[in-house]
Each structure stands twice: as C-alpha cells, then as structure tokens.
Structure 1
Amino acid sequence: MVAGTAAAKGPGASEAEVGASGKRSGSDLVSMIRYTSTTSGGGGKGNVTPVSNWTPPACWYEPRSAQEFSKYVENMYDETVNTPGQHSYAKTSAGMFRDEYKDGKYKNYNLDQKDEGNWWVAVRDEDRWMEPEAQLCDKPPFWVENGAAPPVENPVSPQVLAELAYNRIQLPNTEVAVAPEATTKVNLPTWAWLDKAKFKEVSVTAALNVGGFNIQATTTAKPVSLKLEPGTPDAETYPASGECTINEDGSIGEPYARGKADRTPPCGIRYLRSSGDGTFKLQATVTWEITWTGTGNPNPTQLPNGTFGNDQDVTVQEIQSVNR
C-alpha cells in the first residue's frame, strides 16, 4: 500500500472485521465510513448488480483530523524502519514521506491548526484496489481549511456515500414458488410467484463522522419486477415478455390454488418439451429500483436500477396417456 493511501473494506465486510471505529490495528489507515442495514427486509444473500455499466466509486478522498493523521504517519514510519529485513528504499521512502508533513512543506502535521482544517487522504476499496479506476485517486495527503472545497475529483459527499452503500446492499435469493411444485408437465401452465413478506425494501446507511464532518446517506432498493427465463427456447412465458410486475400489495405473481387449472397464470411458464433425464435451469431475476436520501438531499434521488437472481432446477415430463 502506498503511504498515505487508505483502504476501505469492500462488499460483505462485517462490523467485526472493520471494528466499531472503522480502524484496524497497526499502521493501516482504513476508511472511516460506517455501514448499517436499516431494515430487516429479506436481505443477506447477495449483492445487487447494476443494470448499466455504472459502478460505485473504486476510490475517493476522506478527511482526517491533524491528530489522526499525525498518529498514522508516525506509526507507519516506526513500523517501516523497525521491521527486521525491511529494504533500505522502503525506509528511505517512509522517512521522506514523514519529513514532508512533519519538518518539510508542512510543520508538525499542522497540529497547531487542528481546529482550522483537515487532512484529506485517498481511499481505495480494497476489494477493487487492482482496478485501473482505483488508481485514479493518487494525490498525496493534502490540507484543506474549513469551508474550502477539496481540490480533487470524488471527495467524500452524501452522494458518494450513497453510491458506496449501493455496493453493500444484500438482497434475498430469488427462488420462486412454482406450481406444480416438484415436476411439471409438457404444455401445462406452471404458475410462479414471490412472497411479499420476503421481498421488501432493503436499505443500507453509510455515515462519516470525522474531522468535524458528519454526513450520511441511505440507499434503498425496492423490488419492481421479476424476469423469468425458462432455461430452454422450447417454452412460453406469462406474460410473453417474461417480465412479471409487482402487485399493489408487494407480491409478484399469484399463488396457484385449486380451481385455477383453466386460468392463465399472470406470471409463469409453459414448457413445450420434456427435460428428459435432466432438468431445465429456470432463471429468476428480480429488478430493484434504487434511490437514496441523505444530508442535504431529503427527497429520493435515483441511482441505476439493479438486479439479483439465481436459477433453480425444473423437471418437465411428458403427459402419460392410457390406451385401451
């Protein structure tokens, strides 16, 4: 890790891994952003995938107080020069970095100006640190006076927090209920639906409270439709597009019940041939509408829609007839 560059825990990081303060032990300086799930919902299975080429930031800049920054640099320097077998160039580099902020361009980490501004440091999502986008935040730590705008692209803001929270939303599996349940028949409409109790809104709040900054954003995913892909071209979907929209009560599709055999399911599939000795992979993908609110932004603002899905095995048999 380059001196002065922080790392942020990526998707799936637990609070136990990051720690309540967002810091790890040793000389590492990690993101101070905290993430909290704000709804029980039905989350916990997988991350949302944007429907477009958009991705949350791979790097950004965060503020640090003069005290926090000085402690980081001193710990980093001591650890580098006192590590047995450490290369001389690493020790030299650490010494030059320390001198820049302690006895060079800056004096004693600007501790005498601790109430007048903050240091800003580059942060990279450590799950994406090898991506080219993560290398764009390459400016060494710099000082910004209170009230001034950081002279960089992608300084942390409520919108940046919202975009980072996007990547940490955990969505439920999309295994649909079907009828017939175990095995369906050729040309027999198969009903499909999702339970409204499971598919609720899922939200994550990202908050940053450091160096006099106290901002937050909540990103919310709301299910809006279910896409069915039968796993074979020899099938028809209901509706024909395969896109089942959400009902007013929050459910998708309609459970099968006795007496509905002659009806066309509002959401379902009709297989036109047998799966033989195997099965078809029914792919069920839910589209989630994603918005955010936060500091200075009380009204929901759109982020790119996302999807999450999985497949399930469906056995299709020929209808047996009896000849007399």
Structure 2
Amino acid sequence: MCTYKPTNPQPPAGSAMWEGHAPGDGLVYDERCVISPTNIVNRTVWAAQPPTAPVVDPAVLAQQAVDKMLLRGADIGITPKPGGRGVVGMPVYLWTTRSAETYGPNTATASAGGVTVTATAKVSKIVWAMGDGHTVVCTTAGTPYQAAYGKAPSPDCGYRYTQPSSTQPGGMFPVTATSTWTIDWQGAGQTGQLTEVRNSAVNITVAEVQVLN
C-alpha cells in the first residue's frame, strides 16, 4: 500500500517533480509504498487533489506478483555431462529444461484496493560463461543433445573448447548459466516491465585427443 504527504518544501517552479504543472496547480507529494517489510519504495508524485486514502500503485503490485513466482536459474543440460569427459574441438551443446520455473512463461497476480495486476515472466536470454574466459549468449532454451546428432554442432546454442580443462584449477571448466527473466505486467490501465536474474552452474571435464602410434 502507498501513503502520501505534501513535499516540504515544495519544489521550485520548473522542477521535473511538477510533471509539467505549475506551483499552485495541485501539490507534489512524497509517496511511500510498502511492498514488504524489507522492500519500501519512496518517490515524489504530483497530484491535483490531496489523496484522502491510501492509493494502490500498480507497479508495487507488479513486484508483489513477481515475489510470488518461483524463478530459478537454468536447469543445465550440457555435453559433456558433468562427471563425463568431453574432447577439445568437439561440439558442446548447451540447453535448459523448459519449465515455468526455469524458462517460463510464469504468471502470477496480486491485488489490493480493487486493483489487480498480472505479471508474466519469461527468460529472454541465457549467458553461458564457459570457464575458459569465453561466453555464449543464447536467446533460446537450447537444443538437448541426442546421439543421432553425432558430431553436428548445436543449431542454436553451442560451443567448442580449444583447450583442455586440465589448464584450469581443479582440472575442470566451471560453467555458469546466467538467466535474464523479463517480466511484463499490466493492470489498472498501466503496463510495465521488470527484470530478474538467476544463476546456476556445473563443472565439466574436457580432454585433449590422445593419439596412439
């Protein structure tokens, strides 16, 4: 919920806080919105008439809707599998299991004071840090590897290592997937967008090809 009190002193004429209005044409108010005990939003707003009751801010309800969602990092699929062993130069497939919690869409609503806001979250991109100093940016969930693909590269989210993981501390590449969740919300005639970021990680082993004479 949000509460208001007149800003003291009122901002000077021409201030952006008047939102295009002139002093005397309404007032600028200090708005305080309590989303949760640890999440309080303060800002200034202009209003023609003094608010006589708490006003519901749709943006605040949007954040409350997001807080209801369980948004996770990628449920990582990768070749070689953790615990297995890949080979330098071979295609690496990168993907995440598609679910409401790991890729979206994930929808939730929040209501207060007769206002209802609906928020829908989807992963817009996953940035894969491959552990060798390189990153791969994928705007899809990736394609799960199948044996029938053989040595063909991933069609939408893949990589090739040019060095073995033995060059890294612990002898493995730490692979981190950073998922960016883009959240669109609407309610009370307003729309907006929020962003959340989640991470997940695995370690993989990549070896050099051994040539026998």
TM over 0.5: yes
Match of 1:207, as an amino acid? S
Residue equivalent to 1:270: 160
Question: Conserved in 1, the CA contact under 8 Å of 2:35 and 2:64?
Answer: no
1:100 maps to none
Residue 260 of structure 1, CA deviation: 2.2
Match of 1:175 in 2: 75
Richer in strand (by share): 2
Tell me the secondary structure at the aligned position of residue 62 of structure 2. Answer: helix
Specify the alignment match of 1:50 in structure 2: none
Counterpart residue number, 1:206: 110
Alignment of 1:1-324 (within 5 A): 60-61=2-3, 123=34, 125-128=36-39, 134=40, 136=42, 150=51, 155-181=55-81, 182-197=84-99, 199-208=103-112, 213-233=113-133, 242-246=136-140, 252-265=141-154, 266-276=156-166, 277-297=170-190, 301-323=191-213
Distance 1:264-1:121 versus aligned 2 partners, 3 A rule: closer
Q: How many residues align?
A: 174
C-alpha contact 1:221 1:288 (8 A) present in aligned 2? yes
Tell me: CA distance 1:264–1:216, structure 2 relative to 1, closer, same or farther (3 Å): same
3-state SS, counterpart of residue 165 of structure 2 = coil
Contact 1:230–1:281, Cα closer than 8 Å, also in 2: yes
**Does the 8 A contact of 1:225 with 1:245 survive in 2?**
yes
CA contact (8 A) 2:91 2:151 kept: no
Distance 1:193 1:121 in 2: 42
TM superposition shift of 1:284: 0.7
Q: Distance in 1 between matches of 2:86 and 2:128?
A: 16
Deviation at 1:183, TM superposition (A): 2.2
Change (3 A) 1:292 1:274: same
CA contact 1:230–1:282 (8 Å) conserved in 2: yes
| TM-score normalised by structure 2 residue count | 0.67
Contact 1:175 1:312 survives alignment (8 Å): no
Q: Matches of 1:193 and 1:165 in 2, distance apart?
A: 27
Give the 3 Å change call, closer, same or farther, for CA 216–185 of structure 1 in structure 2.
Answer: same
Deviation for aligned residue 1:312: 1.3
Supply the RMSD in Å over aligned alpha carbons.
3.1
Amino acid at match of 1:127: T
* Partner Cα distance (2:41, 2:78) in 1: 47
1:257 to partner: Cα distance: 1.9
**Structure 1 residues 207 and 284: CA distance shift in structure 2, 3 A:** same
Task: Name whichever structure is richer in helix by fraction.
Answer: 1
Please give the secondary structure, in 1, of the residue aligned with 2:51: coil
**Unpaired runs of 5+ in structure 2?**
5-30, 44-48
Q: How has the CA–CA distance of structure 1 residues 121 and 195 changed in structure 2, closer, same or farther, with 3 Å as cutoff?
A: closer
Q: CA deviation at 1:136?
A: 4.7
> SS at 2:149's partner residue?
coil
Tell me if structure 1 keeps the 8 A contact 2:73–2:177: no
Identical-residue share of aligned pairs (%): 27
For residues 202 and 122 of structure 1, do their structure 2 counterparts lie closer, same or farther at Cα, with a shift above 3 Å needed? closer
Amino acid of the structure 1 residue aligned with 2:37: E
Partner AA of 1:190 in structure 2: V
SS of residue paired to 1:163: helix
Q: Offset of 1:168 from its aligned partner?
A: 4.3
Mapped contact 1:226–1:244 kept (Cα < 8 A): yes
Q: What does residue 13 of structure 2 align with?
A: none
Question: Per the alignment, in what secondary structure is the counterpart of residue 144 of structure 2?
Answer: coil
Please say if residues 175 and 284 of structure 1, whose CA atoms lie closer than 8 Å, have aligned partners that are also in contact.
Answer: no
Which of the pair has more CA radius of gyration? 1
Residues 219 and 291 of structure 1 are in contact (CA less than 8 Å); yes or no, is this contact kept in structure 2?
yes
Kindly tell me: are residues 278 and 151 of structure 1, through their superposed partners in 2, closer, same or farther at Cα, counting changes over 3 Å?
Answer: farther
**Kept after mapping to 2: 8 A contact 1:175/1:311:** no
TM-score normalised to structure 1 length = 0.46
